A and B are shown apart, each in its own frame.
Chain A
Amino acid sequence: MSQKLLLSAKEIDIILHRLACQLIENHTHFEHTVLIGVQPRGIFLADRIKRILEEDYKLTSVKLGYLDITFYRDDFRRGEKPLEANKTNIDFVVEDKRVVFIDDVLYTGRSIRAALTAMQSFGRPQEIELLTLIDRRFSRHLPIQPNYRGRQVDAINQEKVKVHWVENEGEDAVYLVG
C-alpha cells in the first residue's frame, strides 16, 4: 500500500488560518453563528478552527458543539461492521442560528446528509453551511458541496484520504493512501 503526503503540518496550518478568515469574512463576530463538529473526525478540525478564532483573532464568544450522526446514517445494518456511536454535545440553542458544519473530509456526502437530518432534532437553524478540510470532488453520491474548502483532491474510489491530527495520531498531515 502506497502513501503519499498531500498536506504537511505547515500547509495545514496555513489552510486552517485561511478557513478561519473566510469564516470571519461571512460571520464577523459570530453572535448568531454556531460551529458544529461532525463526529467522529470533524471534532478535531472544529476544535482547531475555534482555537484559531479565539487566540489569533480574539473572537471569544464562538460557540462550538459536537454532533453524532450514527443514528441518522443510511447504512445501518448494511455494512459488515456495526456502527459505533459517539457523543453529541450541543449545549446551546440552534433555532434561528447560522450553523457551520465542520468535517475533515467530504467524500460521498452521505455523512453530511445524515448531519442535516440530525440537526433537525435540535431546531430550525436559519441556514447551514459546510466547512471541510479536504473535498474529494467527483466522488459525491448526493448534491452536497462545501461552502469553505481547504484543499480539493481528485482521488479514485479505491484510494483513501487520511487526515492525521496531533491530538489523535501525533502529527498534522494529510495522506493519500492507495
Chain B
Amino acid sequence: MSELSVNHLLGIKYLNKDDIKLIFETADHFKEVINRPIKKVPSLRDITIANLFFENSTRTRLSFELAEKRLSADVINFSAASSSVKKGETLIDTVNNILSMKVDMVVMRHPNPGAGVFLSKHVGASIVNAGDGAHEHPTQALLDSYSIRERLGGVGGKKIVIVGDILHSRVALSNIFALKLQGAEVKVCGPKTLIPKYIDRLGVGVETNLKKALEWCDVANMLRVQNERMEISYFPSTREYTQQFGVNKKVLDSLNKDIVIMHPGPINRGVEITSDVADSNQAIILDQVQNGVAVRMAVIYLLASKIKR
C-alpha cells in the first residue's frame, strides 16, 4: 500500500486504516527531514497550493504553509477578511477564480460544515479540509494520533479521553473517527450540555466525572471551550467549569499513573488546563505542533502524488 484511497482529505470518515498507516509512515520520513540542517525537499516544486481561510487560524495556517514550503510547493494565501467574499462572491466562484490561475490543491478552512465536500464536487483540484465548522478537522486528528503513537508506541488498544466542549468541536469528531479506526477506546468527558445527545452511537463512552475519566485513560486530550460558537450559556460560569473539568497538577498527581496530556491549542491557561500541567513533561502539546508539520507534509505529498498531468 503506497497510495491513498482518496483524492481529497475531506474528513477522517472517508479514510481507511491503511490510509492512516501510510500517512504516518510517510510523516516519519518528513519528521526526519524537518530536523535536518536544511529542512526542505524539492518534491512538489511544480505544484501550487492555495490556502483559503474563511475562518481565523494561526497554528493550522502556519503549519500548512510551512509544510507546503518544506515540500517546495508554491503557496498563495487567502483570508476571507480581506477578500471579495465580503463583496458577495460565492464560494465556487471564489475558488474557480483562484484555480484559473493554475492552482493544483486547495487547503480550506470554512465555518460551514461540509464546505470541503461541496467544493470537491464542483471544482477540479485536490481539497484538504483544514476545519469545516463543528464538523471535521482531519489533519489535527491525524497529528494527535501520530503524537500518541510516537509517545506510547501505538494507538490501538490505548484508552483516550477527550475532555471539554465536545459539542462545538471538530477536533473531537475527527479524533473519535481516527482513534476508533485505529482500534483505540475512546471516552468523552465534559458538562452534559456540551456533549452531543447521541454521541454513544459513534461507539464512545460518556463520563461526566473528570477524576474517573482520568483514572481510566492513558491519554487525555483537553479541548478549549469554544465561546465564539456559543449563542447561549452551556454552564453557569467559567470558574465552575474549571473546578469541574479543568486539569491541574493536584488532580494529575492524585492518579496512580502518568497519563499523557494533549491539547490542540489555543490553550486558555487556567481554564481547561493549568500552566504547570501544560508545561509539564506529561504534556506533549509542543510535540503535537511539531508533528503537525510532518503529518501535513505527508498528507499534501500523498495527495499531490495522485495529481496527474
Contact = CB atoms under 8 A, between A and B. Distances in A.
Interface of A: 68, 70-72, 76-77, 81-88, 117-118, 120-123
Nearest to B28: A87
Interface of B: 2-3, 25-26, 29, 32-33, 36-44, 71, 301, 304-309
A72 B42 contact: yes
Contacts of B32: 87-88
B293 to A, nearest CB: 15
A99 to B, nearest CB: 15
A120 B305 contact: no
Nearest to B4: A82
B36 A77 contact: no
A77 B305 contact: yes
A76 B29 contact: no
A71 B42 contact: yes
Contact of B36 (A82, A86, A122): A122
A84 B25 CA distance: 10
27 contacts: A70-B29, A71-B33, A71-B42, A71-B43, A71-B71, A72-B42, A77-B304, A77-B305, A77-B307, A77-B309, A81-B2, A82-B2, A82-B305, A84-B2, A85-B25, A85-B29, A86-B29, A87-B32, A88-B32, A88-B33, A117-B42, A120-B38, A121-B36, A121-B39, A121-B40, A122-B37, A122-B38
A84 B26 CA distance: 9
Nearest to B308: A77
A68, A82, A84, A85 — most chain B CB neighbours (10 Å)? A85
Contacts of A81: 2
Nearest to B25: A85
Given A70-B29, A77-B305, A121 B38 contact: yes
Contacts of B29: 68, 70-71, 85-88
For the residues of A in contact with B, the DSSP-based class is loop
A73 to B, nearest CB: 8
Contacts of A76: 43-44, 305
A131 to B, nearest CB: 24
A81 B29 CA distance: 19
Given A77-B307, A121-B37, 8 more contacts: A71-B43, A71-B301, A77-B308, A86-B29, A87-B29, A118-B41, A121-B38, A122-B37
Nearest to B304: A77
Contacts of A118: 41
Contacts of B25: 85
A17 to B, nearest CB: 33
Nearest to A73: B43
A117 B40 CA distance: 11
Contacts of A121: 33, 36-41
Given A121-B36, A123-B37, A82 B3 contact: yes
Nearest to A121: B38
Contacts of B40: 121
Contacts of A123: 37
B18 to A, nearest CB: 13
A54 B39 CA distance: 33
B5 to A, nearest CB: 12
Contacts of A83: 2, 305
Nearest to A117: B42
Contacts of B304: 77
Contacts of B71: 71
A114 to B, nearest CB: 9
Contacts of B305: 76-77, 82-83
A123 B38 CA distance: 8
A85 B306 CA distance: 16
A120 B38 CA distance: 8
Interface core residue of A84, A87, A122 (most chain B CB under 10 Å): A84
B71 to A, nearest CB: 8
A72 B38 CA distance: 13
A116 to B, nearest CB: 12
Nearest to B307: A77
A86 B38 CA distance: 19
B187 to A, nearest CB: 36
